[in-house]
Structure 1
Amino acid sequence: MFSNTSQSYGLPARALHWLTALLILSAIALGLYAEDLPRETSAQAETLKSLYSLHKTIGVAAFFTALLRILWALTQPKPAPLHPERKAETTAAEVVHWALYGAMLIMPLSGWIMHAAESGFAPILWPFGQDLPLVPKAEALAHSAKAVHKLSALVLYGSVGLHVAGALKHALIDRDATLARMTRGVAAGGPPLPHGVASPLVALALWAGVIGVGLTLPQDTPAAPAPALSEATVSEGNWQVSEGNLAFSVIQMGAAVEGSLPNWTATIRYDEISGTGDVRVEIDTTALRLGSVTDQAKGPEFFDTFTHPTAVFEATLTRDTDAAHLAQGTLSLRGAVQPVTLPFTLEIDGDTARMRGETALDRRDFGMGAGYTDEATVGFTVIVAVDLTATRAD
């Protein structure tokens, strides 16, 4: 039997029901298992990457399967309940059913939005992509999507538990054909009943609350996006940074991960006539952001921000040709001091200067990721980019 009737479920409805259940339960199991795994070494990180990639891919597949299942259900007759006289039980079952429909869509979709909005590891596998239309890379959006994802998981756990409990009650206590209609397509029950709007409205209100709470949960207070010089720093330099961005990127699991170090101060002395000067930059590494792997990047294997909360770059400035300049000096990071050359362009218009530069560092020079010896896990090269605007202080 292909189509539903008022007494039975057709083959497509039953197949989509069990396939959706299999995919969702598999994604949940993988996600919960990965949450508790250690992630200190490259081998552990590779295992986590594989588990989370499967978790995300299966979750996206579950979303499309559930969407197809719901669309099919809306175009088919719904078998009538076997005990229509039990009004409260029937209404409760319908509310749980509609809540479950919402969970099957909102939970994987919010996870996909979170993935698309943040930089991190564990790509979604083919044929699904990493990005979504109209979803920008934004930490605030990723935070909200993550909150909705976690809250919807609670609704999913609850609705699945109640759904299973109801099915077992029908099979073991009532001993009716409710479960058999979904497993074997058994026909049972009476004529179709009119569908009310109360149950879907209750479920809709529940999901409005879940999404509303998720979108309004406070985010960790981010570090100031534009570094400002202290009074002592201003008095020592003749240029004061008014706004700026210190970013870095690294290849992780084959994909570029973008990060930032938003808290830093700079003492800049520069003479326009000779094209020379010097700079000292102090960077608060505890404020770094690196998408979904921020905590891992702050850990002892990488930046070790607890032991080394500050990095320092000191360099002399020289002009090469026209706007092209070099900052040549040393970077003290994670207890190691290494020579660094930063090529940059400098454009001065009156009392405003715009500086942009980029250089490549090797994380191994600073003892980062000693356990990650394979570039397939974390690349050796880290690209550092600086973009700032400064105003004349003297």
Structure 2
Amino acid sequence: MALTNTTRSYGAVERSFHWLMAVMILAAVPLGLIANRLPHDTPEALARKVEVFSLHKTLGVAIFGMALLRVLWVLVQPRPAPLHPERRIETALAGAVHGLLYLSLLGVPLAGWVEHAASDGFAPILWPLGQSLPLVPKSAAVAEVAGALHVAFGWSMILAMGLHVAGALKHQLADRDETLARMAWGRAAGPGRAARSAGPALAALALYAAAAGGALALMPASRPETATALAPVASDWVVEEGLLGFTVRQMGSEVGGSFPDWTAAIRFDETPVEGRHGEVTVTIAADSLTLGAVTEQARSAEFLDVAAHPRAIFQAEILPADQGYIARGTLDLRGVEVPVTLPFRLEIEGDLARMEGSTTLDRRDFGIGKSHVDEAAVGFGVRVDVALTARRGG
């Protein structure tokens, strides 16, 4: 049994690639579709969803590696000539479908891998080599774009697979030729004179570009359509830049999120008056929350319920502490007020102040994720990190 191709037959290596990848794709595609539709309203359901997504992602990485090897093999091997070279339109269409399949076998898992690498924590790939990718930052925007491309390219792959199978059946049942036998058993057939053309490859690239453009055009906004940005507030110290982030453990992994839209009304004096340095009111647009692959879940009624409670407010006095300062007050989140103390460090140089602080909240105090009582599934503690630069004179 020959390992390599000829112009009349497929070798054992090429046929092994073909059938092994077919089995893997037929497993990975349903797993992805099922995982997207699985509920996550209970800890058991969430764990099941994570397991199915992990299997889907792991198969996707394996398919990507296999596709790279197959493309390299195809580049150095002769291609068996079409059995009916006189049917030019049919031959060109077959070439375009093959080109779309090759692009999909690389693009679909790569886009999914980039989405995973740009997100935090949800449904790990089941391998020991890490979950990140070089040059891919942790970014909700990158994850959203990659996710949209993954879905669009996935449907283009399903279309190409359907056309490929239909073509094989047509050759087997209507033409009754040796097309399927060449790939199934390595049977030699055909004229043995292969002609190459750039047309089918260009057609496949055009279809892929159309899928990418459609995915980006139809990509939903990262915030709900009803969300509105917070208006600026009057403040003695005006925040020029800042970060309001948080970290929670999910299924044993840390997941990092943030609230990009928030304002701070700050009154602060270096010299305390009656033991107080001032006060602060932070208003947070809860519907601006991002949390990687589980952003929509975190915004849902089970967790932050941003539709009913689009704003969170932290009001506190600024007090001296042994090492720095503390902001002591209440956090109104999800309609529940809870006392909160935020220790922070502060450096002031002239009219410019830099602040960093961190505290840990218990999500159960706010009624967040009531049904998720297993801390191994969704952690109870949520670490909140704040950093900002503000200028005096607002």
Instruction: Provide TM-score, normalisation by structure 1.
Output: 0.92
Q: How does 1:353-372 map to 2 (within 5 A)?
A: 353-372=353-372
Out of 232, 238, 241, the residue aligned to residue 239 of structure 2 is: 241
In 2: Cα distance, 1:113 partner to 1:272 partner: 47
Contact 2:267 2:279 in 1 (8 A): yes
**Structure 1 stretch displaced more, 193-202 or 130-139:** 193-202
Matching residue's letter, 2:337: V
Question: Could you say which residue in structure 2 is the equivalent of 1:267?
Answer: 265
Classify the secondary structure of the residue corresponding to 1:19: helix
Shift of 1:302: 0.9
Classify the secondary structure of the residue corresponding to 1:25: helix
Matching residue's letter, 1:385: D
Question: Could you say which residue in structure 2 is the equivalent of 1:28?
Answer: 29
In 1: Cα distance, 2:306 partner to 2:213 partner: 35
Q: Once superposed, which parts of structure 1, at least 4 consecutive aligned residues long, lie more than 3 Å away?
A: 208-219, 221-224, 226-229
Q: How does 1:274-289 map to 2 (within 5 A)?
A: 274=272, 276-289=277-290
Instruction: Provide TM-score, normalisation by structure 2.
Output: 0.92
Classify the secondary structure of the residue corresponding to 1:54: helix
Shift of 1:216: 6.2
2:79 corresponds to 1:78 = yes
In 2: Cα distance, 1:245 partner to 1:228 partner: 17
In 1: Cα distance, 2:332 partner to 2:148 partner: 37
2:316 corresponds to 1:318 = no
Contact 2:331 2:337 in 1 (8 A): yes
2:255 corresponds to 1:257 = yes
Q: How does 1:1-394 map to 2 (within 5 A)?
A: 1=1, 2-214=3-215, 220=221, 229-230=232-233, 234=234, 237-274=235-272, 276-321=277-322, 324-393=324-393
**Structure 1 stretch displaced more, 101-110 or 283-292:** 283-292
Shift of 1:280: 2.0
Matching residue's letter, 2:305: D
Shift of 1:264: 2.1
Classify the secondary structure of the residue corresponding to 1:273: strand
**Structure 1 stretch displaced more, 50-59 or 113-122:** 113-122
Structure 1 gap ranges (5+): none
Matching residue's letter, 1:252: Q
Shift of 1:171: 0.8
Classify the secondary structure of the residue corresponding to 1:374: coil
Contact 1:144 1:217 in 2 (8 A): no
Matching residue's letter, 1:254: G
Matching residue's letter, 1:6: T
Classify the secondary structure of the residue corresponding to 1:272: strand
Task: Spell out, residue by residue over 1:259-312, the C-alpha distance to the aligned partner (whole angstroms, 9 max, x if none).
Answer: 111222222222211262222222221111111111100111111112222222
Task: Spell out, residue by residue over 1:139-188, the C-alpha distance to the aligned partner (whole angstroms, 9 max, x if none).
Answer: 22222212221221121111111100000011111111111111122222
Shift of 1:381: 1.0
Classify the secondary structure of the residue corresponding to 1:81: coil
Classify the secondary structure of the residue corresponding to 2:360: strand
Matching residue's letter, 1:273: T
Contact 2:244 2:386 in 1 (8 A): yes
**Structure 1 stretch displaced more, 111-120 or 207-216:** 207-216
In 1: Cα distance, 2:33 partner to 2:215 partner: 20
In 2: Cα distance, 1:130 partner to 1:341 partner: 34
Shift of 1:212: 4.8
Classify the secondary structure of the residue corresponding to 2:240: strand
In 1: Cα distance, 2:11 partner to 2:352 partner: 72
CA RMSD, Structure 1 to Structure 2 (Å): 2.2
Matching residue's letter, 1:89: E
In 1: Cα distance, 2:168 partner to 2:384 partner: 57
Shift of 1:222: 6.1
**Structure 1 stretch displaced more, 48-57 or 364-373:** 364-373
Matching residue's letter, 2:387: D
Shift of 1:229: 3.5
Structure 1 residues 393 and 59: alpha-carbon distance in aligned structure 2, compared to 1, 3 A threshold: same
In 2: Cα distance, 1:227 partner to 1:255 partner: 32
Matching residue's letter, 1:33: I
